[in-house]
């Protein structure tokens, strides 16, 4: 049977379906139409030329500015049995000659080149001897002076293209501005204008912003939930990177620093240990990330405020490239914004104005507490995001904050700023309001002011929060060096007109951690650990990063479906034919031994076993529901108790309930409601009121229902009743 894009995808790469845009781009390339593909980081751009490369008879030349990534890609290709190689300045003279020989004899499908290498006569002559079917230009925005990484060599690529007029051209980038796009097409002399723009939404990223209070402790707490999982922590300065690295190291964590102040080889070593899973965490300035392809980054923490939404999104985009859930946390406080603003003062006027605009957008985003995080981000990239609540950001998960009338305390604060002569910072103003007898207050005789001691009703923290809001709303301005506050005309106006001011009196609590709605991450952890250790051994033996052997998703699916035959192994995502024959036996053996020891049977509802691409026809895929969810529901419907379920699936009962709820919401039916009802401790009357409350308040959040019931029905009951309610 002739190969098709879909069969290559499954047999070689072990994937069941294309990601959005991939299929269209590939078809277009196969029809030899020049194409510009714009997809976010982690969107899966590489497959767009790797699949056609295996369908063309001739050679595919991939131009990439990142030498480090070439080696990585070539290793990944080899692991899947694809003949690929690179030629660049890192090769020895012999290796260079050897690789040229492979190309000349037509023994490779993909050739990765740096732009300057492609333009050398030696390589141009070599390519003239063979058939070049496709030029793939990765990071194509480097061609544009309007882009952020302009590379003059990219400008000359059109010369190379002219020499091979029959080769189709595919330009790929994650930068979407119209200007850069036009530039790419023009500079490459593209004959057609086929553009494919993927959505920039990355649904698997959980996006969260939390007030930055005690960042080191907050970070430690966060890391407690990501034991042994890879992640990046971005800091603003080198000093901060070094300090935090030391702090985390002292806490016993496996962590390395990365910034421009380190020696080249130390930086490289640190990056390498992160990529190879030898170090769990990398603490870095923004310099880190361009050259890495690590798919299993499970979290990104922004320890300091990024300068723009574009930087921020690019940085969090490095999480979860493998499509599995990943968590992005930004620690935010307003003084970070002030620090950044002060630094901008050194810039030229025009540049400064633009930078300020970017920073303001970033601050607005960080302070936003009611709109889905994805709305402003995607809007920034010119996309209208309508599918909110996305259920995967803090604002969609938590009820919106209570906005109240804060006119009186705001007036008190503003007047006190005025009475103290607009010469002091917030701390002193608050001391006066709260009637403090501190030396500084007495020294300036501020205990004699009419505003002295009129603000005892709020805590110091609440006043501080109020001051920040007044700054943000433009009632106050702050001098940079000494942070002294003064009134704006807006404030004088508000005081004179007694206008209403709304805001929050309570500083927002740190948001509750997201619920366990990521059912894809619920798998047998003990087996996963075994598989992962084996993968690391194999990777070290082969001298490649672990993900080259198998991505995490593959090991997770193995620990979910327990495949025990070569055939069912091929149904697991990421297992192509070559990898199955190379590593299948060793992994099957581990799974088999583990299952025997723990009496686990290969479940019947796992992906279909009848061979090629049939997974797409398995019932789970038809409904779009995850197979795991179906498995859980099936087990429950067969009469297993909640406790039994939790034990069997090695998760909490709350997780089981979340899964059942999701199952019902996605259209499934539960037959074992009696089991749920028997677990509720609240009386019949209370249950009735809870159902009424669910009717009125919806099922999304439990807190409002809990409050409506004045706390008389506990959360355990509410979680069960919510599932029952959803079944009605
Ligand atoms: P980009 O270059 O756009 O940042 P990559 O090409 O590196 O993204 O792909 C990111 C990850 O997604 C890789 O680990 C890749 O193997 C995986 N991937 C790409 N396409 C698919 C697909 N159709 N199904 C499953 N995984 C995919
Ligand atoms: Zn959201």
Domains of the chain: 5-197 (3.40.50.300), 205-397 (3.40.50.300), 404-503 (1.10.10.10), 525-624 (1.10.150.80), 628-726 (1.10.10)
**Tokens 């997201």 -> residue:** 514
Would you give the distance in Å from CA 642 to the centre of its chain?
A: 33
DSSP 663-685: HHHTT---S-HHHHHHT--S-HH
Give the rounded distance of the alpha carbon of 275 from its chain centre: 17
Question: Rounded to the nearest whole angstrom, what is the distance from the C-alpha of residue 208 to the centroid of ligand 2?
Answer: 9
Q: CA–CA separation, 561 vs 563, rounded Å?
A: 6
Cα separation values, 185 from 33, 269, 353, 364, Å = 13, 38, 30, 34
pLDDT, residue 625, reads: 66
Which one has a higher pLDDT value, 188 or 506?
A: 188
Measured in Å, residue 18 CA sits from the centre of ligand 1 at 10
**Among all chains, which residue has been given the structure tokens 């993968």?**
535
Contact 135, 61 (CB under 8 A): yes
Query: What does the alpha-carbon distance between residue 30 and residue 33 come to, in Å, rounded to a whole number?
Result: 8
What percent of the chain is modeled with pLDDT above 70? 92
Using pLDDT thresholds of 50, 70 and 90, give the confidence band for residue 245: very high
What pLDDT sits at residue 347?
82
What pLDDT, in 10s, does the model give residues 663-684?
A: 888 888 888 888 898 888 888 8
Contacts of 358 (CB under 8 A, 6+ apart): 307, 308, 309, 310
* DSSP three-state, residue 298: coil
166's tokens: 């029959």
Q: How confident is the model at residue 452 (pLDDT cuts 50, 70, 90)?
A: very high
Mean pLDDT of 655-670: 85
pLDDT of 617 above 50: no
Per the structure block, which two tokens stand in for 643? 């406790």
The predicted pLDDT at position 528 comes to 93
Average pLDDT over residues 567-585: 94
Query: Do residues 688 and 635 make contact, with C-beta atoms less than 8 angstroms apart?
Result: no
What whole-number distance in Å separates Cα of residue 229 and Cα of residue 521?
A: 12
- Vertex 400: Cα angle to 399 and 406 (nearest 5): 140
- Residue 188 sits at φ, ψ, to 5 deg, of -90, 0
Q: Is the CB of 310 under 6 A from ligand 1?
A: no
Higher pLDDT, 290 or 500: 500
Could you say which ligand is closest to the alpha carbon of residue 9? 1
- Tell me, using a 6 A CB cutoff, whether residue 293 lines ligand 1: yes
Residue 36, pLDDT score = 93
- Give the pLDDT score at 434: 93
Q: Is the CB of 15 under 6 A from ligand 1?
A: yes
Q: What is the mean pLDDT of residues 248-273?
A: 93
Ligand 1: which atom is nearest the Cα of residue 17?
A: 23
CA distance 381 to 358: 13
Output phi, psi for 618, to 5 deg: -65, 150
| Cα–Cα nearest to 333, from 368, 369, 305, 372 | 305
Q: How far is CA 513 from the centre of its chain?
A: 16
Question: 320 CA to middle of ligand 2, Å?
Answer: 17
What SS3 state is found at 417?
helix
Ligand 1 centre to CA of 25 (Å) is: 14
User: Could you say which DSSP state residue 602 is in?
Assistant: P
* Ligand lying closest to the C-alpha of residue 321: 1
Considering only 10-24, 278-292, 529-543, 587-601, which range has the smallest mean pLDDT?
278-292
Q: Minimal CA–CA distance to 152: which of 65, 35, 29, 235? A: 65
**Highest-confidence segment of 318-327, 638-647, 680-689:** 318-327
- Asked whether the predicted pLDDT for residue 621 surpasses 50, the reply is no
Rounded to whole angstroms, the Cα distance separating 326 from 319 reads 6
Q: Which of 193-202, 439-448, 616-625 has the highest mean pLDDT?
A: 439-448
**Chain-wide mean pLDDT for the chain?**
87
Q: Which atom of ligand 1 is nearest to the CA of 41?
A: 4
The better pLDDT of the pair 46, 288 is held by 46
Note the pLDDT tens digit of each residue in 354-413: 888 889 999 999 988 889 999 999 998 888 998 888 889 999 887 666 778 899 999 999
Q: What's the CA gap between 343 and 694, in Å, rounded?
A: 50
The CB density around residue 140, as the number of other CB atoms within 10 Å, is 30
Of 70, 136, 321, 551, best ligand 1 pocket probe by most atoms within 8 Å of the beta carbon: 321
> Rounded to whole angstroms, how far apart are CA atoms 332 and 318?
20
Residue pair 514/226 in contact (Cβ under 8 Å)? The answer is no
Contact (Cβ atoms closer than 8 angstroms) between residue 276 and residue 213: no
Spatial contact of 253 and 280, defined as CB atoms under 8 Å apart:
yes
| Per-residue pLDDT tens over the stretch 137-165 | 998 988 887 666 778 888 888 888 889 98
Ligand 1 centroid–CA 19 distance in Å is: 8
Handedness of CA 174, 176, 177, 183 (dihedral sign): positive
**pLDDT confidence tier of residue 607, bands split at 50, 70 and 90:** very low
* Residue 637 confidence (pLDDT) above 60: yes
Query: Per the omega criterion (within 30 degrees of 0), is the bond before 587 cis?
Result: no
| Residue 516: per-residue pLDDT | 39
Helix (H, G, I), strand (E, B) or coil at 540: helix
Query: Could you tell me if the CB of 282 is within 6 A of ligand 1?
Result: no
Q: Is the pLDDT of residue 618 over 50?
A: no
| Ligand 2 centroid to residue 177 C-alpha, Å | 24
Q: Are 455 and 433 spatial neighbours (Cβ–Cβ below 8 Å)?
A: yes
What average pLDDT does range 430-459 have in this prediction? 92
**Who contacts 50 (Cβ-Cβ below 8 Å, separation ≥6)?**
13, 77, 82, 110
Rounded to an integer, what distance in angstroms lies between the CA atom of residue 490 and that of residue 474? Answer: 7
The residue ranking higher by pLDDT, 398 or 87, is 87
> Does the pLDDT of residue 520 top 50, yes or no?
no
Q: Which ligand is located closest to the Cα atom of residue 66?
A: 1
Lowest-confidence segment of 78-87, 200-209, 504-513 by average pLDDT: 504-513
- What is the number of other CB atoms lying within 10 angstroms of the CB of residue 159? 12
Residue among 109, 125, 119 at smallest CA distance from 88: 119
For residue 42, the CA-to-ligand 1 centroid distance in Å is: 6
Q: Give the model's pLDDT for residue 206.
A: 95
Q: How confident is the model at residue 608 (pLDDT cuts 50, 70, 90)?
A: very low
In the DSSP assignment, the letter for residue 138 is: T
d(CA 727, CA 35): 48
Residue 236 structure tokens: 């603003």
Q: Residues 492-504: what's their mean pLDDT? A: 88
């Amino acid at each position: 049977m002739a190969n098709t894009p879909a069969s290559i995808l499954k047999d070689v790469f072990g994937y069941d379906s294309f990601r959005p845009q991939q299929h269209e781009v590939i078809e277009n390339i196969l029809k030899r139409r020049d194409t510009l593909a714009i997809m976010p980081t982690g969107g899966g751009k590489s497959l767009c030329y790797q699949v056609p490369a295996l369908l063309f008879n001739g050679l595919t030349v991939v131009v990439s500015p990142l030498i480090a990534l070439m080696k990585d890609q070539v290793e990944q290709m080899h692991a899947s049995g694809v003949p690929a190689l690179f030629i660049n300045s890192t090769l020895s003279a012999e290796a260079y000659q050897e690789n040229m020989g492979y190309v000349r004899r037509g023994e490779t499908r993909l050739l990765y080149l740096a732009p300057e290498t492609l333009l050398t006569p030696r390589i141009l002559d070599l390519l003239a001897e063979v058939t070049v079917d496709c030029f793939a230009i990765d990071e194509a925005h480097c061609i544009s002076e309007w882009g952020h990484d302009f590379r003059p060599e990219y400008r000359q690529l059109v010369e190379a293209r002219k020499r091979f007029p029959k080769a189709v051209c595919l330009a790929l980038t994650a930068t979407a501005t119209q200007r850069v796009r036009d530039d790419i097409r023009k500079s490459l002399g593209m004959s057609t204008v086929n553009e494919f723009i993927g959505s920039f939404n990355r649904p698997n990223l959980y996006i969260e912003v939390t007030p930055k209070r005690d960042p080191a402790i907050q970070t430690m707490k966060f890391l407690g939930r990501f034991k042994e999982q890879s992640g990046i922590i971005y800091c603003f300065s080198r000093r901060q990177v070094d300090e935090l690295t030391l702090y985390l190291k002292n806490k016993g964590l496996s962590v390395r620093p990365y910034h421009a102040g380190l020696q080249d080889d130390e930086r490289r070593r640190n990056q390498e240990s992160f990529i190879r899973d030898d170090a769990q965490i990398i603490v870095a300035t923004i310099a880190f990330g361009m050259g890495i392809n690590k798919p299993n980054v499970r979290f990104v923490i922004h320890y300091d405020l990024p300068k723009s939404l574009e930087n921020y999104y690019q940085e969090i985009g490095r999480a979860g490239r493998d499509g599995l859930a990943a968590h992005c946390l930004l620690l935010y406080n307003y003084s970070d914004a002030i620090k950044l603003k002060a630094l901008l003062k050194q810039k030229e006027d025009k540049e400064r104005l633009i930078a300020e605009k970017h920073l303001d957008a970033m601050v607005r985003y960080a302070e936003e507490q009611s709109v889905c995080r994805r709305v402003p981000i995607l809007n920034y990239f010119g996309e209208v995001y309508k599918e909110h609540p996305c259920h995967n950001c803090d604002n969609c998960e938590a009820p919106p904050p209570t906005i109240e009338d804060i006119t009186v305390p705001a007036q008190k604060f503003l007047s006190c700023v005025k009475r103290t002569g607009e010469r002091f910072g917030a701390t002193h103003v608050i001391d006066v309001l709260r009637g403090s007898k501190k030396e500084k207050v007495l020294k300036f005789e501020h205990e004699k002011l009419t505003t002295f001691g009129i603000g005892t009703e709020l805590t110091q923290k609440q006043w501080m929060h109020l001051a920040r809001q007044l700054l943000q709303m433009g009632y106050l301005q702050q001098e940079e060096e000494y942070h002294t506050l003064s009134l704006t005309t807006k404030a004088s106006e508000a005081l004179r007109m007694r206008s209403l001011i709304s805001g929050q009196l309570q500083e927002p609590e740190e948001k509750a951690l997201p619920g366990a709605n990521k059912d894809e991450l619920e798998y047998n952890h003990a087996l996963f650990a075994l598989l992962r250790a084996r993968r690391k051994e194999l990777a070290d033996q082969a001298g490649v990063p672990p993900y080259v052997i198998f991505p995490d998703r593959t090991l997770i699916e193995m620990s979910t479906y327990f495949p025990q035959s070569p055939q069912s192994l091929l149904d697991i995502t990421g297992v192509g034919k070559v990898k199955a024959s190379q590593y299948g036996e060793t992994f099957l053996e581990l799974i088999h031994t583990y299952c025997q020891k723990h009496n686990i049977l290969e479940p019947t509802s796992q992906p279909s076993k009848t061979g090629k691409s049939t997974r797409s026809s398995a019932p789970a895929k038809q409904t779009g529901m995850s197979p795991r969810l179906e498995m859980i529901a099936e087990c429950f419907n067969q009469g297993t108790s909640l406790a039994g379920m939790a034990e069997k699936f090695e998760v909490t009962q709350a997780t089981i309930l979340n899964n059942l709820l999701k199952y019902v919401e996605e259209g499934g039916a539960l037959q074992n409601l009696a089991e749920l009802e028997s677990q509720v401790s609240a009386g019949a009357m209370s249950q009735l009121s809870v159902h009424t409350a669910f009717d009125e308040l919806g099922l999304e959040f439990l807190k409002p229902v809990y409050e409506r019931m004045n706390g008389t029905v506990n959360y355990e009951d509410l979680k069960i009743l919510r599932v029952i309610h959803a079944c009605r």
